[in-house]
Homo-oligomer: A and B are copies of this chain.
């Protein structure tokens, strides 16, 4: 069994952002030399997400509205977590979007559907944060 590990780093200029990382994951997979197996990609921070959906700007605006409805950023005082911090909403938003994805590796490729694109979802940005890529297989 082979195993591969890499960290991807992000520093988004806005509090919230979606970054398409599909190409980065393809590079990792190529580097790993693994042909059959599983790829895990997870946020290493609890106010960020890795998720799969469409790379369509309209949909990303819909996600923003949807997440703000379910877990609004403001007023900060509505959350017990926001004593020394202001990011409770980011913990909740990331919970809805998910921490991680597991992707099949088949014949050396990410085994994704036609429209599946992998995103880093940032909900408390403007600082260095990272994502873990771990691949196991043969």
Q: A: which residues have CB within 8 A of B?
A: 1, 3, 5, 36-38, 40, 42-46, 51-54, 56-59, 61-63, 66, 70-71, 79-83, 88, 91-92, 95-104, 106, 111-116, 130, 132, 134, 136-138
Contacts and interface: CB of A to CB of B under 8 A. Distances in A.
Copies per assembly = 3
Contact of A113 (B46, B98, B102): B46
Contacts of A61: 80-81
12 contacts: A1-B36, A42-B103, A42-B104, A44-B114, A46-B113, A52-B99, A53-B91, A54-B81, A58-B80, A59-B79, A95-B97, A102-B102
A63 to B, nearest CB: 7
